[in-house]
Each structure stands twice: as C-alpha cells, then as structure tokens.
C-alpha cells in the first residue's frame, strides 16, 4: 500500500466496476481454483495449517462477496464504506493461496538440507497464524455497511 489515496481508488474500482463484471466470473473462477487446491491438499497433514487458513479465508471472502453483491450494489454508500476492507480481505486470501502453494513446494524440498525451505515454512506459518486472522475483522467491518459512517449530517463537519 502506498497510502496516497490510490488504495481507496483501487478498492472503489474493485467493488464498483470489477466485482460484478461478467456476472462475477473473475472471483468465481478464483474461488473454484482455491477450492480445487484445498481439495487436492486437504489430506496432507503437513499442509493442514495452510489449507485450513486458506479455506477459512476463502469462505470469509466468499461471504463478503455475497454481502457486497446483495447490499453494496444497491446502496453505493455501503460499497464506499466497505471497499477498503473488501480489498484487504481479498488480498489476504490471495496471499494465503500463494503461501499455501509456497508451503507445498517447500515441503517437497525441506529435507534437501537447505534451510531456505525450512525458513519458508516458518515464515508461511507466521503469516497464517499472525496475519491471516485479520480476515475475520475485515468481514465483520464489511457487514456493518455504511449506516454509522453516514449517520452524521454534513453540517456537523
């Protein structure tokens, strides 16, 4: 994030223009790809923290997407109020997918004697345990909508 307003513009663009483009084909394709990866790796005990974290993040992102489709498309104040959290939630889910893929590759080479792979798994676990739980916070914030944010009249400013 560069925090100069670009993130907010990108978040509004994602929610306002791209989310429902082509009937939501992009996110539906992404969710299907994640589901396939989870299904293919769910029985690998060493992958469990990565798969569980990814599956939960995807579930939360899917719930947020459904909320946005049902609410934000009818009331753009909801879209505006929730867009940054939606962008953050989706981003964390994408990162969880990337970390799960990295973990799978590292597990295949972890016994090669190179600490790089062991350290990659440690770093990935840090992400899963310390960063990825933020998906719950973002989902909660998205679902509050804009009512409180828009409650104060403009004259109060």
| Contacts with 60 (C-beta within 8 Å, 6 or more apart), sequence order | 89, 93, 135, 136, 138, 139
Catalytic residue among 4, 45, 63, 134: 4
Taking the CA atoms of residue 23, residue 53, residue 8 and residue 156 in that order, the dihedral angle to the nearest 10 degrees is: 110
Determine whether 4 is an active site residue: yes
What's the start-to-end Cα distance of the chain, in Å?
28
Instruction: Tell me the catalytic residues.
Output: 4
């Amino acid at each position: 994030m560069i925090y100069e307003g670009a993130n907010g513009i990108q978040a509004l663009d994602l929610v306002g223009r791209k989310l429902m483009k082509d009937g939501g084909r992009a996110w539906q394709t992404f969710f299907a790809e994640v589901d396939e990866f989870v299904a293919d790796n769910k029985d690998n005990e060493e992958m469990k923290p990565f798969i569980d974290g990814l599956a939960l993040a995807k579930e939360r992102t899917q719930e947020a997407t459904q909320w946005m489709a049902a609410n934000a498309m009818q009331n753009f104040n909801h879209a505006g109020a929730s867009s940054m959290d939606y962008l953050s939630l989706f981003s964390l889910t994408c990162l969880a997918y990337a970390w799960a893929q990295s973990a799978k590759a590292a597990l295949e080479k972890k016994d090669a004697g190179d600490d790089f792979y062991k350290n990659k798994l440690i770093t990935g676990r840090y992400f899963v345990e310390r960063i990825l739980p933020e998906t719950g916070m973002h989902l909660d914030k998205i679902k509050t909508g804009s009512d409180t944010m828009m409650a104060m009249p403009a004259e109060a400013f």
